Amino acid sequence: MRQSITVVFLFPYYYMFLCFIYAVTVLGNSFIMGTIYLARTLHTAKYIAVFNLAFSDLCGSSALIPKYAEMFLLENQYIPYENCLASMFFVFLFMTMQSYTLLALCFDRVIAICFPLRYHAIVTKTTMTLIIGVMWVIAVSLITRLSFCRSTTVGSYFCDHGPIYRLACNDYSPNYMMGSIYTAFVLCIPFILIAFSYVCIGVALLKISHGAERIKAMKTCTSHLILVAMYYLPIFSIYMVAISTYLHPNTRIINSALAQAIPPMLNPIIYTLKTEEVLQSIKILYKRVKVNFAMD
């Protein structure tokens, strides 16, 4: 039997803003993926992870925003139960891959700065592909089905795990436990590992005698640090602070939307503007296209 879940929509202009974010996200991540694919200089282990991050951002936003923008525009705020679970699965799948890919990029920076002479021997295309593959296997998980006998209004702008299992009238303790495990393995542990990695990077930077080389090494980490801050800080502020303090449902909905929609839009922009390798590859591709156009 198909059961419907009512999705609470707030502030029409706000959701139009989300649609704008989605358009920029699609263009930006498609551009960075196309650049990595076409530029042979970017066919390295590091950019396998960057490509995977762009792919996860693109798919995550596609699983999250368009369906609910369509519902809002058509004034149809109902979604079948099965579709709701499928949406939840893909949203959390790609959120998980975003977190794990940031961890993979951190691994790349740790090896590059702490073990520079062994970097090319350790961080190979095969190694990075294996890491990304294992992370995809870990990210894919099953979601427990629940039965509902009362209100089916979800206090979120998408089928969020917490608001849905609280609507169930059967025992949802396994779902609560699953949510806690998910938070630990997808958010807390990767964040702790990234923080520890940057402590190691900081120690390694202090051992560099030349200030210019130290600054150059630090610049290679700036893009990744910005991505980490944009991804983890808003999520922790919403899901962790809300445990100990009261957070208004509308505030949680708006913050959740921004936390999950803004980083995928900004990630390709940050990597384009902050990474010299990408900028040089874009210039080379532009010149190649310009020459081919002139010859035609």
- CATH at 167: 1.20.1070.10
User: Does the pLDDT value for residue 27 go beyond 90?
Assistant: yes
- pLDDT for 144: 47
| Nearest C-alpha neighbor of 47 from the set 272, 201, 232, 265 | 272
Q: pTM of the prediction? A: 0.82
* More confidently predicted of 80 and 12: 80
**Residues 215, 218: Cα–Cα separation, whole Å:** 5
Strand partners, 5: 79
- Grade residue 192 by pLDDT with cuts at 50, 70 and 90: very high
Domain containing 177 equals: 4-295
205-258 pLDDT, tens digit per residue, is 888 777 777 787 788 788 888 888 888 888 777 666 555 455 555 566 666 667
Task: Please state, in angstroms and rounded to a whole number, the distance separating the CA atoms of residues 21 and 264.
Answer: 9
pLDDT at 11 over 90: no
List the single range of 5-14, 18-27, 53-62, 118-127 with lowest mean pLDDT.
5-14
The percentage of residues in the chain with a pLDDT greater than 70, rounded to a whole number, is: 70
Which of 19-33, 46-60, 168-182, 259-273 has the weakest average pLDDT? 168-182
Averaged over 86-114, what is the pLDDT? 86
Which stretches does DSSP call E strand in 27-163? 78-80, 153-154
Kindly tell me if the per-residue pLDDT of 134 is higher than 70. Answer: yes
Which pLDDT tens digit goes with each residue over 141-176?
544 445 555 556 665 656 766 667 666 666 666 667
φ and ψ at residue 153, rounded to 5 degrees: -95, 115
Average pLDDT over residues 263-280: 83
Domain total of the chain: 1
Give residue 66's pLDDT: 80
Is 77 within 8 Å of 9 (Cβ atoms)?
A: yes
Residue 69 · residue 15 · CB < 8 Å: yes
* Residue with token string 């977190």: 99
